[in-house]
Structure 1
Amino acid sequence: MKLELSEPDFRYVSGSQTARDITEAWIAQSIYCPNCGNPRLRQFPKNLPVADFYCSQCNDQYELKSQKKEFGRKIANGAYQTKIERLQSDTSPNLILMRYDPDASLVRQLYVVPKRFFVPSIVERRKPLSSVARRAGWIGSNIVIEKIPVIGRICIVNDGVIAPMQDVLAKWQRTAFLDRQDAANRGWLVDVMSCIDDLRKPEFTLDEVYRYESYLSRLYPGNNNVRPKIRQQLQFLRDNGYLEFRGRGNYRLIQ
């Protein structure tokens, strides 16, 4: 995989359009499908509202977000209601996050987020556009990156260092069990995984996860049995090799 960004054969008037063309061309030339290992991703026709790339082998789709600066806590996305509807119908594409250095013409960081991690809790509703805006009243959304479990942010390039392809494929398949869940169950699992990440330690107790009871109650106001639901998710994560139960309410993340 090469890290250099090549100049396009033509120039847009807009610098952002030029950057978009360069980064999309790099993905099409350099990135394999992290789901199945197909050596190339194919590009959809430009301005398609659904996704930017697809894999001709497994049919997975990908959306590219690229920028010069490091990604912060959240990134802007499309219309809020459309995003929520796509989550409910499971038609969201996987996400590719690229940070590039235009001065050095290099890709500095590249992460992929499987669509299985896109649940309502990570989508933030933005304020409606003002009455004087061209699209007055339009409501956009943000993807809150920090709410995506760490295991769902799979690194392909970091500080110019390329991760081994087999490691990327293994990490992608590590959480494939989430694909077999309906949207509601997957939401609970991802949110509990995020709470575990927030503890910032490899070993933890059931009581420590119970500290997030209020937070999870706000996410799921219709559920009056949050603690049993937490235990259910921990058991499911244990059964699928994500956690190890060590007895007496103690758990360990399996690396």
Structure 2
Amino acid sequence: MFSTIISSYPEVCEERLPMNVLSQYKSATQRARVFSESWIEKNFKCPQCSDALQRMPNNTRALDFLCRTCAQGFELKSKRGAFGPTVPDGAYASMLSRIRSGRDTNLILLGYTEDYVTRSVVAIPNRFLIEEIIIPRKPLGEHCRRAGWQGCNINIGLLPPEGRIVCVQNFVAVPQDEIRENWKSTAFLEDGNAVSRSWLAVTMGIVSRMKTESFSLADVYNAEKELARLFPNNRSIKAKVRQQLQILRDRGWLSFLGNGRYAINPHQGGFVS
């Protein structure tokens, strides 16, 4: 039986999608697309302004929905089951071009059950879609129809929880005002250029993965090799780390405890840990 859930707050109720709507599609990919697009159009609200989203024409590149009020664009990806730390995406070169030009859209990741019930929805603000989390895949071989084409994966596992905002979790919707507050909490990342945004997002991810109440500057230095790999053109990793921690402190994401120790300021729910 095909079904969806409606994001009514605070409860979640079910709405049945007529069987004949999906059964006319033989491809599982097509059924997933029809189901997920219908669910988002009917139930999902813009994380920034809470208005409804408008579905864009088919084959609009990297843009599936547009907010009618604040013009935020969204690309939808759906999967039966849960998304892992990496999310398949399209052409590697196109993805890098959109990021570098500041034209990339936000992501919506929708996970559903075998009988087409929405289990989870996570929104990823485009401010967290940085070049360092885009992983190139092996180009298609010469015998393939699109020989030489190179796709990519998005390593969302490198992001901090604030970069993966929960909208529906275990079939239950998060209140819209909470989603909106979580979305706006990292708007400061948009103040800088692509390079500064990358450094802040990666540093936030490293700190978040420590999963401790407080940490020292030396703890972050332990990630020097990872940072050198992600930012090969930087020759002053430790100095850059100190700069990022100071910025995150000034932005209120961190608190300085003294003696070289910091703590992440508490946030109210809504993030994927």
Q: So what's the TM-score if we normalise by structure 1? A: 0.95
3-state SS of 2:140 partner: coil
Instruction: Specify which of 99, 107, 110 is matched with residue 87 of structure 1.
Output: 99
The answer to whether structure 1 residue 229 and structure 2 residue 235 are counterparts is no
How far does the alpha carbon of each residue in 1:8-65 deviate from its partner, in whole angstroms, 9 at most, with x for none? 7472332311221121011011111001111x10000011113100101110000110
Whole-angstrom distance in 2 between the partners of 1:148 and 1:218: 16
Give 1:102 shift.
3.7
The answer to whether structure 1 residue 43 and structure 2 residue 55 are counterparts is yes
Corresponding residue number in structure 2 for 1:53: 65
Answer whether contact 1:41 1:54 (CA < 8 A) is retained. Answer: yes
Instruction: Specify which of 184, 188, 193 is matched with residue 177 of structure 1.
Output: 188
Give 1:4 shift.
3.9
Whole-angstrom distance in 2 between the partners of 1:120 and 1:128: 19
Corresponding residue number in structure 2 for 1:67: 79
How far does the alpha carbon of each residue in 1:191-247 deviate from its partner, in whole angstroms, 9 at most, with x for none? 111111221213111110011112111222221111111011101101111000111
Q: 4+ residue runs of structure 1 moved beyond 6 angstroms? A: none
Give 1:5 shift.
5.7
Whole-angstrom distance in 2 between the partners of 1:202 and 1:87: 33
AA at the equivalent of 2:89: N
Greater RCO, CA 8 A, separation 6+: 2
Corresponding residue number in structure 1 for 2:144: 133
The answer to whether structure 1 residue 32 and structure 2 residue 45 are counterparts is yes
Out of 12-21 and 124-133, give the one that drifted further.
Answer: 12-21
Unaligned runs of 5+ in 2: 1-6, 8-12, 267-273
Out of 10-19 and 244-253, give the one that drifted further.
Answer: 10-19
Answer whether contact 1:5 1:22 (CA < 8 A) is retained. Answer: no
Instruction: Specify which of 99, 104, 124 is matched with residue 113 of structure 1.
Output: 124
Corresponding residue number in structure 1 for 2:206: 195
Answer whether contact 1:68 1:100 (CA < 8 A) is retained. Answer: yes
- Aligned pairs, number: 253
Whole-angstrom distance in 2 between the partners of 1:13 and 1:29: 24
Unaligned runs of 5+ in 1: none
